[in-house]
Amino acid sequence: MRALVAVKRVIDYAIKIRVKPDKTGVIKENVQHSMNPFDEIALEEAVRLKEKQIVKEVVAVSLGSSKSQETLRTALAKGADRAIHIEVEEATAEKIEPLLVAKILRGIAETEKPDLIFLGKQAIDDDCGQTAQLLAGLLNWPQAMYASVIERESDKTFVVTREVDGGRELIRIKTPAVISADLRLNEPRYATLPNIMKAKNKPLEKKKPSDYGIEIVRQTQILE
Amino acid sequence: MNGIRFFSNHLSKRHDILQTALRFTSTLVLAEHAGDKLNPITLKAVNAASNLGEISVLVAGTNITNVAEQVIAKVEQVKRVFIADHEKLKHQLPEYVAKTVETLQKQCKFDYIVAGASTFGRDVLPRVAAQFDSAPITDIIAIHSSDTFTRPIYAGNALCKVKTNAPVKFLTFRGTAFKSAKESGGNGKIEKAPESDFSFDGVEFLSEDLLKSERPDLQSAKVIVSGGRGVGSADNFKIIYELADKLKAAVGASRAAVDAGYVSNELQIGQTGKVVAPELYIAVGISGAIQHTAGMKDSKIIVAINKDPDAPIFEIADIGLKADLHKAVPELIKAL
């Protein structure tokens, strides 16, 4: 079984953000960035499934400027086997919306043929909480959002506990499926120094949105 | 965050202008319900959507004729109610509800498809949006025009005004930012939703474990008493419940309190928990990290009880008490 994990580089959760004086966005220069916390949890879950020998290979994917490679190296250090970087210019990265990410992930899913795609339930910068559902919709795969427990039931089925408004809900999903991680799914590990060193030699493939036939045109314009 | 209040106050004026411009537009609201009960967030979504053209509501589930006829059809502004009654829709799993919406949209071609920003709305809406190549806009707190909306980003630390040219506009509205539509005065026409193909079998509902409580629902409560890590233990949390009982309040918690196992996660308030805006919010032993304040800073009056005078919660509190909560809360309960 192969797992694909989508990770995003965002401003670190502990940073107090500042809006630019011209209101075009928030100040990102010289601000500490790190992997979106929910993506760390999604990645951790995929790595744990690999350690349980349920998953054979974990592929980390990130879309963004060249700096996203740091995030992918972190993912490799935490246990991903290889990484795919969809590189866009810094200015273009600002224009990415969840629908575009979902379309590119669909393209990757078509070539990589994963059984499970893990995402965080939302990115803590745009707070959209859409990408996983959009991707599941595009692929017409089952979706298990806000997962807090994932248990393999058979070769093709998993039982997922979801955190919903009134409490918890258990569903059975058939692979291939899209899963989004909630906070309580697990406690992500830290990357150790030897693993960080090893991660430098793990494969990191570079791609462009156009490799998946995607043109970056967004439907949502940010006014202020 | 004054912006939020400003925009919602001006909705009624905008309403007339928008109504003229939107005479020929149509909006589908996805109703969220449990058996005979309509989730209050649906009323908020209807009211928000009344700025966006003529309203139809889709009710999906099993045995829903009653809630559709007796409740939803009577909601002010509702013109049409579509009923999708099918065994596969019993637990309103997003895969099947999305299929229903998709089939209905192909027939009716709504300009807007909207829902409340709850688990249900967040689950279903983007899934359908993907079928119509439309980028959704989630968690809207203000409507400026037919295509321009404001939503919070960075845990509510910035507001983002966006303009969309999506072919179909898929929107979710944050419940705390809009008033509820009246539950009377409407006369919606009941129709059967077109039959959908439910052959998809990738998902199956197994069970649910819902929190049962005599207390008011967190998201519609007028008063909320919330506890954080400072409360110290699950056992100590009972003083929070006692205070809440005195005030007929709902009980909330910070992530720290949930992670420490003091209370279950349904009570979590914040960026990744629930967003609330009660008349009175009492934060007990909560430091006030941005991830928590994202979920409660629009409360009308915020009271903080914390022994650390530097806790960031005091920056947003209207009334702050620097005291040991284990002394102050019992005293407060006694005084009430």
ipTM for the whole complex: 0.94
Per-residue confidence band for A165, with pLDDT thresholds at 50, 70 and 90: confident
Structure tokens at A193: 């120094």
Mutation for B interface: A18, A128, A182, most B CBs within 10 A: A128
Element (H, E) at A74: helix A68-77
Q: What is the CATH number of domain A2-212?
A: 3.40.50.620
What tens digit of pLDDT does each residue of A12-25 get? 999 999 999 988 88
Q: Do B209 and A126 touch (CB under 8 A)?
A: no
Show residues of chain A in contact with B125, CB under 8 Å.
133
Distance from CA of A38 to the nearest CA of B (A): 10
Structure tokens at B135: 């980028």
pLDDT of residue B16: 52
Q: Do B118 and A165 touch (CB under 8 A)?
A: yes
pLDDT of residue A167: 87
pLDDT of residue B4: 45
Show residues of chain A in contact with B203, CB under 8 Å.
142-144, 171-174
The full set of domain ranges for chain B reads 26-192, 223-335
Q: Do B166 and A219 touch (CB under 8 A)?
A: yes
Residue of B nearest to A172 (CA): B204
3-class secondary structure per residue, chain B: CHHHHHHHHCHHHHHHHHHHHCCCCEEEEECCEECCEECHHHHHHHHHHHHHCEEEEEEEECCCHHHHHHHHHHCCCEEEEEEEECHHHCCCCHHHHHHHHHHHHHHHCCCEEEEECCHHHHHHHHHHHHHCCCCCEEEECEEEECCEEEEEECCCCEEEEEEECCCCEEEEECHHHCCCCCCCCCCCEEEECCCCCCCCCCEEEEEEEECCCCCCCHHHCCEEEEECHHHCCCCCCHHHHHHHHHHCCEEEECHHHHHCCCCCHHHEECCCCECCCCCEEEEECCCCCHHHHCCCCCCCEEEEEECCCCCCHHHHCCEEEECCHHHHHHHHHHHC
Distance from CA of B81 to the nearest CA of A (A): 25
Query: What is the pLDDT tens value at each position of chain B, 336 positions in all?
Result: 444 444 444 454 555 555 555 557 999 999 999 878 899 999 999 999 998 989 999 999 999 999 999 999 999 999 999 999 999 999 999 999 999 999 999 999 999 999 999 999 999 999 999 999 999 999 999 999 999 999 999 988 899 999 999 999 999 999 989 999 999 999 999 999 999 999 999 999 999 988 777 788 888 899 999 999 999 999 999 999 999 999 999 999 999 999 899 998 889 999 888 999 999 999 999 999 989 999 999 999 999 999 999 999 999 999 999 999 999 999 999 998
How many C-beta atoms surround the C-beta of residue B216 within 10 A?
17
pLDDT of residue B35: 77
- Name the β-bridge partners of B326: none
Show residues of chain A in contact with B95, CB under 8 Å.
142-143
Residue of A nearest to B153 (CA): A126
Residue of B nearest to A186 (CA): B259
On whether any CB of chain B is under 8 Å from the CB of A198, the answer is no
Full-model pTM? 0.87
Which amino acid, one-letter code, is at A51?
E
Q: Do B95 and A125 touch (CB under 8 A)?
A: no
Q: What is the number of alpha carbons within 13 Å of residue B95 lying toward its C-beta?
A: 24
Distance from CA of B112 to the nearest CA of A (A): 15
Structure tokens at B85: 């009654």
pLDDT of residue B231: 94
pLDDT of residue B9: 46
What tens digit of pLDDT does each residue of A171-212 get? 999 999 999 999 989 999 999 999 999 999 999 999 999 999
Closest CB to B128: pick one of A97, A137, A173: A137
Residue of B nearest to A25 (CA): B160
The full set of domain ranges for chain A reads 2-212
Element (H, E) at A206: strand A204-207
> How many angstroms separate the most distant Cα atoms in chain A?
55
Q: Hey, which CATH number is domain B223-335, 3.40.50.1220, 3.40.50.1860, 1.10.10.1100, 1.10.10.10?
A: 3.40.50.1220
pLDDT of residue B7: 47
d(CA B86, CA B103): 14
Mutation for B interface: A96, A115, A124, A127, most B CBs within 10 A: A127
Beta strands in A56-176 (DSSP E): 57-64, 82-87, 116-120, 143-152, 157-164, 167-174
Residue of B nearest to A148 (CA): B265
Instruction: Please tell me the total number of residues recorded for chain A in this structure.
Output: 224
CA B22, distance to chain mean position in Å, is 25
Show residues of chain B in contact with A140, CB under 8 Å.
200
- Report, at the CATH architecture level, how domain B26-192 is classified: 3-Layer(aba) Sandwich (3.40)
pLDDT of residue B24: 77
B122 belongs to an annotated ligand binding site: no
